[in-house]
Structure 1
Amino acid sequence: MTNRTLEDRYGRVATDLRVSLTDRCNLRCSYCMPAEGLDWLPDDSVLSDDEVVRLIAIGVQQLGIREVRFTGGEPLVRRGLVDIVRRTRSLDPALELSITTNALGLTRTAQALADAGLNRVNVSLDTVRPDTFHEITRRDRLQDVVAGLEAARAAGLGPIKINAVLLRGVNDDQAGELLRWSLERGYDLRFIEQMPLDAQHGWSREAMVTAEEIFAQLEREFDLSPAAEPRGSAPAELFRVDGGPATVGVIASVTRPFCGDCDRVRLTADGQVRNCLFAREESDLRGALRAGAGDEEIAERWVVAMRGKRAGHGIDDPTFLQPDRPMSAIGG
């Protein structure tokens, strides 16, 4: 077995693998997909549990992957999730395993996921007002999310991080309220600039609430100071709230890109490698897998796929084109 790394032409090495387990979701967030949903991937194109675990094993055992995050769509709707987590954990006890979820269903699965070896959860939550939650997600499920967060905490899946997107004219006046709510419960809040990954291709820079606006709003209610610890490859800029120890983060993918420190690679639910969230090209591992390719050949295909990674996502470039796949089909 040859040990290689997933290094691109700019010297960045991917050690953090994001694995999308499904493109399906039980919410319909307005900035992600239309109310009627999308045309889901056909079942036979989605990787089986065995195929998912085999590709993760190649990444971990041959290519230096140290962190695996399971995403979607909504990964909790994947029936085999707990078993996939358990089998991934068995690959290496030192792996950092996490999940990005809307928390619906965590009340049923949090303890099983913890027992299977999951370390922590990231939960998408843009508001703590029931009416705004319904407006954004088109579902009346806020209390289920709150209960899911509590179940995750009870199961020891921490630190619990909350990811929030502010939408102009919808919840852009609620940053302070969301931070106070998170601080009271001991959750780590991260605001994320809305990215051009919606299925409707309705994103515009003018409508996006920027990091500067988020800071300005928070600083009306809190004293923010830069966190002492270096950011490294983490996407969030962290700030101590009222002197700490609690922090709030801002992930400014659009206005303050952090591409130069990126250590992530993505695997879609249908077995495609994406070397950047905004890539317009993918590399097919599923075809090789199903054609009988050995682990060495698949590993080499993955290495080649990473070499093509661009220096940056190019959102600021006038020629930027939004990826054909929306976020729900790529994974966070």
Structure 2
Amino acid sequence: MNMNVEDQLSRPLRDLRISIMDKCNFRCTYCMPKEIFGKDYVFMKEEELLTFGEIVQTANQFAALGVNKLRITGGEPLLRKNVEELIQELNQIEGIDDIALTTNGVMLPKLAKSLKEAGLKRVNVSLDALDTTVFQEMSGRATKADVVLRGIDAALEAGLGVKVNMVVKRGLNEQEVVPMAKYCKDRGVMLRFIEFMDVGQTNGWGYSKVVSKKELHTLVSEIGPLQPVDHYYFGEVASRYQYEGSDVQVGFISSVTETFCGTCTRARLSADGKVFTCLFSESGTDLKEDLRAGQSDAFIKEKIKTIWENRSDRYSELRTAESSKNRKKIEMSYIGG
């Protein structure tokens, strides 16, 4: 029987974000730069990654503690071979009723159909610009947004739900906000704008580079009036709006200007088996050693329960320009966003 656990601020454990791969075929500057402190980015060795069996074992124990939503992330999770097999196994866990996957969309034309058949419900596709020059600057690759748009089309054709995520960084891609909103509205998919966050140590974050939810809302309203929509569930991160006279929605994830720490129900499992209780964590708690030492499910479940019950994270609520500089945060590509 599944139990409910709460942290120090009475927040329940409901969501688990599972990074299965730290590698990516893009180098988005806010997530995974080409190099860190002058050195090439070093990826994990295959033996460092949790196996699918270890991921499923861990997810089972999270589900027993109240988790009902899983999000598969990376890096780029579709670079991991046979990811459909993992989706299929996770889909059989009692209590899990929603499995989504975050991707840059490049491999969806090849994999969307099999992912849907394996039980994946939806994909969150990262796309920060339609203009080729801006897209290349954001993605760190000499390619065009068309490769991502083809992935979105393939996901829709396969019957997957689609949300598009756009990180907006002042001085780089704010001029793409309206074109992106028009594209998504015409395509009938939800676009979620994400305020540029100070994740990791290398993305050059500063308050001056944040385009606020208020500014974004004003820009998108050029397309048409927006009506607020009630949250679907406790802990939903996006403030959602609907275009007047349409059923298409747009969302705003404003972890800088309108924080939502008070309703955060998310834990994160890194690709090498560490549990993190906040996107802005400085460190995580290792489970891989326990899993490979043959510790029982009861042991793993109790360890996760203790981690969550001791949780008191609310970094975004306490963030200052100074604290952002002084805190040693892990990179987004490692924790999975």
TM-score, scaled to structure 2: 0.92
1:52 to 38, 50, 55: 55
Counterpart among 327, 332, 337 of residue 327 in structure 1: 332
How do 1:131-150 and structure 2 match up within 5 A? 131-139=133-141, 140-150=143-153
Asked if 1:8 is matched to 2:7, the reply is yes
Aligned to 2:104: 102
Which residue pairs with 1:153 in the alignment? Answer: 156
**Counterparts of residues 250-329 of structure 1 (less than 5 Å):** 250-314=252-316, 315-317=318-320, 318-320=322-324, 321-329=326-334
Residue-by-residue CA offset, 1:249-293 (whole Å, 9 max, x unaligned): 100011111111111111000101111111223111111111221
Corresponding position of 2:45? 42
Give the partner amino acid of 2:319. D
* Change in 2 beyond 3 A, CA 1:322/1:104: farther
Contact (CA 8 Å) 2:30, 2:203: kept in 1 or not?
no
Maintained 8 Å contact 1:201/1:322: no
Equivalent pairs, count: 329
Distance in 1, matches of 2:205 and 2:307, equals: 28
SS in 2 for 1:132: helix
- Aligned residues of 1:74 and 1:102 also touching (Cα < 8 A): yes
Give the Cα–Cα distance (whole angstroms) in 2 for the partners of residues 23 and 92 of structure 1: 28
Q: Percent identity?
A: 35
- How far apart in 2 are the matches of 1:295 and 1:232? 28
3-state SS in 2 of match to 1:7: coil
Q: What does residue 116 of structure 2 align with?
A: 114
Amino acid at match of 2:208: E
2:240 aligned counterpart, secondary structure: strand
**84-93 or 119-128: which moved more?**
84-93
Q: Equivalences for 1:119-198 in 2 at 5 Å?
A: 119-139=121-141, 140-158=143-161, 160-198=162-200
Deviates more, 1:147-156 or 1:203-212: 203-212
Give 3-state SS (helix, strand or coil) of 1:260's partner.
helix
Counterpart-to-counterpart distance in 2, 1:218 and 1:136: 21
> What's the secondary structure of 1:19's corresponding residue?
strand
Change (3 A) 1:328 1:45: same
Structure 1 residues 74 and 322 mapped into 2: Cα distance closer, same or farther (>3 Å)? farther
Task: Give 1:214 shift.
Answer: 1.1
- Could you tell me whether the CA contact under 8 Å between 1:225 and 1:243 is conserved in 2? no
What is the SS of the residue equivalent to 2:174?
A: coil
Question: Secondary structure at the residue paired with 1:13?
Answer: coil
Alpha-carbon distance in 1 for matches of 2:86, 2:128:
28
Three-state SS of the structure 2 residue aligned to 1:14 is coil
TM-score after normalising by structure 1 = 0.93
Residue by residue over 1:150-207, the C-alpha shift from the partner in whole angstroms, topping out at 9 and shown as x without a partner, is 110111111x100001121221112111111001111100000011114514111111
CA positional deviation for 1:215: 1.7
Question: How many angstroms apart in 2 are the aligned matches of 1:108 and 1:8?
Answer: 41
Structure 1 residue 93, shift from structure 2 partner: 7.9
- Alpha-carbon distance in 1 for matches of 2:101, 2:125: 8
- Partners of 2:218 and 2:327 in 1: how far apart? 28
Write the letter of the residue equivalent to 2:287: L
Counterpart of 1:304, as a letter, is T
Q: Measure how far apart 1:245 and its partner are.
A: 2.1
2-side partners of 1:9 and 1:214: how far apart?
A: 34
TM-aligned CA deviation for residue 229 of structure 1: 5.0
State the distance in 2 between where 1:6 and 1:316 align. 26
Q: Is the 8 A contact 1:6 1:15 kept in 2?
A: no
Structure 2 unaligned residues grouped into runs of 5+: none
- Greater mean deviation of Cα atoms: 193-202 or 310-319: 310-319
